[in-house]
């Protein structure tokens, strides 16, 4: 009797981006199947918690991977593919819930008297709220939570996938757990760290359905709605036409396949836009900035660069906080010596941290507004977000925030003592936005929505006076804050002529006061543009 050995699947050793590259460039179906096998449990869990109907959850599951199949490049550009799929699954799940509610409303109108109904346990409701609050976290805090709990990766595996050091992953993981716990507490769900970790892990469990060889009309409708709301209307129409008219092979019978599917997945082709399906009519939810009615096709450019301190100047030394100025010295002892961190320069790259960089119209008019029809549809429809400022290593982290107008700032206190936050709006017309609060240990204070003002807003601690930070708010999404090496990235910027502005808390604008108008810059029609290093010249830099 012969024995047939099952050889290990070589694709299992590849990371997500390598699998996406093989699928996108070589149309390798087995690579896509490996991605579905790897992330299917996560995706189906989110879809299942979003809707009460199992069959509709399966349709939503199909739609998520249809979105991935039609746009693998976007997934590969994300911090993690699992985190990207979580976000898509959340949006598809919400679209499915709207679909479910419309169906139930029609049934109620046709049959006013109904028996029974779907009900969720308290724990199911907790998991649904967890998904909602995870979605609202900043990506750098959401990604490690998704990887370590929903994807159930080890910390070493998650650090490798995200391209972070292990210490960075652990720090952001703890910050993410703390912020998530505080957000849940504000909604009346108080969990210890252990219970929170257990709830996150529980939400990851469950087997995923197989992908159908041809997605259902409902799956196509859900995918098209998500593309329309978050990934571009034109691509949404293309997806709907390709799927409904011809079908797309997404089979998952085995981890490897001996024969290729009959209809391979290929990049979407331009097709006539179909008539809108009444089921996918968007809900009238409020938006921060209305999307333009008609947006001409544009080339969206991912802009990256680095801001560096002038190399002909000596790097200023950090000012140390005097020992007699440190209150609660035992609390801060692990982080001493403490410093005033208003100027942070990388020793090797000369990169300048905490520089706010943004695009503005190519105009000498300081009040010129960013044209609405040049904003990427994904950003135009973005809803207000909440950004967390934590206490890390004895400092506010992040120290400098750049946000969209309408966003708010949360100050969770993870210290065992009271935390004071004094928030000041310079030249404020609305003085009620100023606050000076004491935050109890384990509590969070959230600011009012921040408007775009063309000026930074200051927050500091009067008790721990070395802790200071700034908030810049913009009407448009084309801004960034440089990291510890001076790097920044501005995704999906419109090609064309613009101005690039840079600001630092110590000396103000690049080039002095005239620099507020920015330097002329042309973004070519290219997928990605890396700018030459931006030397932050300013005569007001301290000499030492």
The answer to whether residues 94 and 220 belong to one domain is yes
Task: For 490-505, write each residue's pLDDT tens digit.
Answer: 999 999 999 999 999 9
φ and ψ at residue 332, rounded to 5 degrees: -100, 0
Residue 312 belongs to domain spanning: 300-535
Q: In terms of residues, how long is the chain?
A: 544
User: Residue 442 is part of a domain; what is its CATH number?
Assistant: 2.60.40.420
113-119 mean pLDDT = 39
The answer to whether residues 217 and 342 belong to one domain is no
Q: Are strands 356-361 and 519-523 parallel, antiparallel or unpaired?
A: unpaired
Q: Are strands 356-361 and 479-481 parallel, antiparallel or unpaired?
A: antiparallel
The answer to whether 439 and 413 have CB atoms below 8 angstroms apart is: yes
Which of 215-229, 236-250, 385-399 is most confident?
385-399
The answer to whether residues 254 and 358 belong to one domain is no
The answer to whether 534 and 502 have CB atoms below 8 angstroms apart is: yes
φ and ψ at residue 499, rounded to 5 degrees: -120, 140
Domain tally for the chain?
A: 2
Sign of CA dihedral 225, 478, 130, 35: positive
Q: d(Cα 354, Cα 399) in Å, to the nearest integer?
A: 7
181's enclosing H/E stretch is helix 166-186
The answer to whether residues 267 and 325 belong to one domain is no
Residue 490: inside a domain, yes or no? Answer: yes
The answer to whether residues 255 and 376 belong to one domain is no
For the beta carbon of residue 156, count every other beta carbon within 10 angstroms: 10
The answer to whether 397 and 467 have CB atoms below 8 angstroms apart is: no
Last residue of a domain, one of 230, 256, 272: 272
The answer to whether residues 238 and 362 belong to one domain is no
Task: For 159-175, write each residue's pLDDT tens digit.
Answer: 888 888 888 888 888 88
For the beta carbon of residue 339, count every other beta carbon within 10 angstroms: 17
Residue 6: inside a domain, yes or no? Answer: no
Residue 293: inside a domain, yes or no? Answer: no
The answer to whether residues 313 and 394 belong to one domain is yes
Q: What is the 3-state secondary structure (H, E, C) of 199-237?
A: HHHHHHCCCCCCCCCCCCHHHHHHHHHHHHHHHCHHHHH
The secondary structure of residue 319, as a DSSP letter, is E
Among 478, 471, 481, 421, residue whose Cα is nearest residue 451: 471
Question: pLDDT class for 333, splitting at 50, 70, 90?
Answer: very high
pLDDT exceeds 90 at position 246:
no
The answer to whether residues 242 and 351 belong to one domain is no
- Range in 63-72, 271-280, 386-395, 514-523 the model is least confident about: 271-280
Q: What is the 3-state secondary structure (H, E, C) of 514-531?
A: HHHHCEEEEECCCCEEEC
Residue 292: inside a domain, yes or no? Answer: no
Question: pLDDT class for 275, splitting at 50, 70, 90?
Answer: very low
The answer to whether 408 and 448 have CB atoms below 8 angstroms apart is: yes
Q: d(Cα 236, Cα 226) in Å, to the nearest integer?
A: 8
The answer to whether residues 384 and 253 belong to one domain is no
Question: pLDDT class for 344, splitting at 50, 70, 90?
Answer: very high
The answer to whether residues 380 and 258 belong to one domain is no
The answer to whether residues 140 and 234 belong to one domain is yes
What is the pLDDT at residue 244? 36
b/e map of 54-68 (b: 16 or more CB within 10 Å)?
eebbbbbbbbbbbbb
Residue 464: inside a domain, yes or no? Answer: yes
pLDDT exceeds 60 at position 229:
no
- The mean pLDDT value of the chain amounts to 78
* DSSP reduced 3-state for 509: strand
Residue 284: inside a domain, yes or no? Answer: no
Residue 278: inside a domain, yes or no? Answer: no
Residue 180: inside a domain, yes or no? Answer: yes
The answer to whether residues 268 and 304 belong to one domain is no
Sign of CA dihedral 530, 531, 533, 536: negative
- The proportion of the chain whose per-residue pLDDT surpasses 90, expressed as a percent, equals 34
400-422 mean pLDDT = 94
């Amino acid at each position: 009797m012969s024995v047939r050995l099952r050889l290990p699947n070589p694709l299992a050793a590849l990371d997500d981006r390598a699998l996406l590259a093989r699928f996108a460039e070589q149309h390798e179906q087995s690579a896509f199947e490996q991605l579905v096998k790897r992330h299917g449990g996560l995706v189906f869990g989110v879809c299942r918690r979003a809707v009460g109907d199992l069959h509709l959850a399966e349709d939503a599951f199909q739609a998520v991977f249809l979105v991935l199949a039609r746009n693998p490049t976007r997934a590969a550009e994300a911090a993690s593919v699992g985190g990207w799929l979580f976000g898509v699954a959340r949006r598809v799940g919400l679209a499915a819930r709207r679909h479910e509610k419309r169906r139930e409303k029609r049934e109620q109108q046709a049959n006013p008297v109904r028996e029974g109904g779907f009900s969720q346990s308290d724990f199911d409701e907790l998991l649904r709220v967890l998904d909602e609050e995870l979605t609202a976290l900043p990506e750098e805090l959401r990604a490690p939570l998704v990887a370590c709990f929903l994807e159930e990766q080890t910390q070493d595996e998650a650090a490798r996938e995200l391209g972070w050091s292990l210490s960075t992953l652990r720090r952001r993981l703890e910050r993410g757990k703390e912020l998530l716990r505080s957000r849940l507490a504000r909604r009346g769900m108080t969990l210890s760290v252990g219970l929170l970790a257990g709830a996150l892990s529980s939400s990851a469990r469950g087997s995923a359905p197989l992908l159908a060889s041809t997605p259902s009309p409902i799956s196509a409708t859900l995918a098209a709605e998500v593309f329309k709301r978050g990934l571009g209307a034109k691509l949404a129409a293309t997806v709907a036409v390709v799927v409904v008219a011809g079908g797309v092979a997404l089979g998952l019978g085995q981890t490897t396949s001996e024969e290729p599917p009959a209809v391979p997945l290929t990049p979407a082709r331009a097709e006539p836009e179909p008539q809108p399906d009444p089921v996918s009519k968007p809900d009238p939810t409020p938006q921060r900035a209305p999307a333009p009615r008609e947006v001409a096709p544009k080339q969206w450019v991912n802009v990256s660069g680095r801001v560096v301190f002038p190399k002909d100047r000596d790097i200023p030394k950090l000012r140390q906080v005097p020992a007699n100025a440190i209150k609660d010295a035992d609390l801060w002892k692990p982080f001493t010596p403490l410093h005033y961190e208003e100027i942070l320069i990388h020793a090797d790259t000369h990169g300048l941290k905490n520089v706010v960089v943004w695009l503005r119209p190519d105009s000498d008019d300081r009040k010129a507004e960013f044209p609405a029809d040049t904003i990427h549809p994904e950003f135009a429809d973005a809803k207000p977000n909440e950004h967390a400022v934590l206490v890390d290593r004895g400092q506010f982290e992040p120290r400098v925030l750049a946000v969209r107008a309408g966003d708010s700032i949360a100050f969770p206190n993870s210290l065992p003592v009271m935390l004071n936050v004094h928030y000041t709006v310079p030249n404020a017309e609305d003085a009620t936005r100023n606050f000076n609060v004491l935050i109890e240990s384990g509590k969070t204070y959230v600011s009012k929505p921040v408007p775009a003002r063309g000026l930074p807003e200051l927050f500091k601690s009067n008790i721990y006076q070395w802790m200071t930070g700034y908030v810049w708010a913009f009407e448009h999404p084309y801004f960034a804050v440089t990291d510890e090496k001076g790097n920044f990235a501005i995704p999906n910027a419109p090609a064309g002529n613009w101005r690039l502005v840079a600001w630092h808390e110590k000396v103000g604008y690049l080039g002095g006061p005239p620099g507020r108008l920015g330097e002329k810059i042309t973004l070519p029609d290219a997928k990605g543009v890396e700018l030459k290093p931006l030397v932050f010249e300013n005569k007001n830099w301290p000499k030492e």
